[in-house]
Amino acid sequence: MSNITITFPDQSTRSFPSGVSTMEIAENIGPRLAKAAVATRINNELADLSLSIDTDAEIEIITDDSDAGHEVLLHSTAHLMAQAVKALFPDAKVTIGPAIENRFYYDFDIEGTFSDEDLEKIEAKMRELSESDNTVNRLE
């Protein structure tokens, strides 16, 4: 297996085996970085931490304490909410749901409205889903 050169934002470089993921790079740098990592930019393109890198690349590991990391978390949480709603209310139609500023939302087409009890169930389902071993992958 050949090696590739990874260039970091400070212009430092390191060599890794071809096919390495950004998560593996973060783990190689340190456990704290790996724990805080939520996404990556590879050659200025937002990508999943699990994406394999096969050629020399510039990467930025996006952490949960950055503005970009916050946007990733809001966006992912919006999708998590939609997944929870669909699991609990299979007939619900998901319409639009962007992350905006410091919050997120989704519009749902359902019969009636969600009750306070429904919202508690949705929150509990979101918690259950977030604690599961499901993998989340970004789709283009």
The per-residue pLDDT of the chain, averaged, comes to 90
**Fold classified for 3-63:** Ubiquitin-like (UB roll) (3.10.20)
DSSP class of residue 97 equals -
Both tokens assigned to 136: 């989340």
Phi/psi of residue 67, nearest 5 degrees: -60, -45
CATH class of 68-131: alpha beta
pLDDT value of residue 101: 67
State the amino acid at position 34 in one-letter form.
A
Task: Check: CB of residue 92 under 8 Å from CB of residue 85.
Answer: yes
Rounded CA separation 29/52 (Å): 17
Domain residue extents for the chain: 3-63, 68-131
pLDDT in tens, 37-47: 999 999 999 99
Instruction: Indicate whether 102 pLDDT > 70.
Output: no
Task: Check: CB of residue 90 under 8 Å from CB of residue 96.
Answer: no
The pTM for the full model equals 0.77
Question: Which of 29 and 101 is assigned the larger pLDDT?
Answer: 29
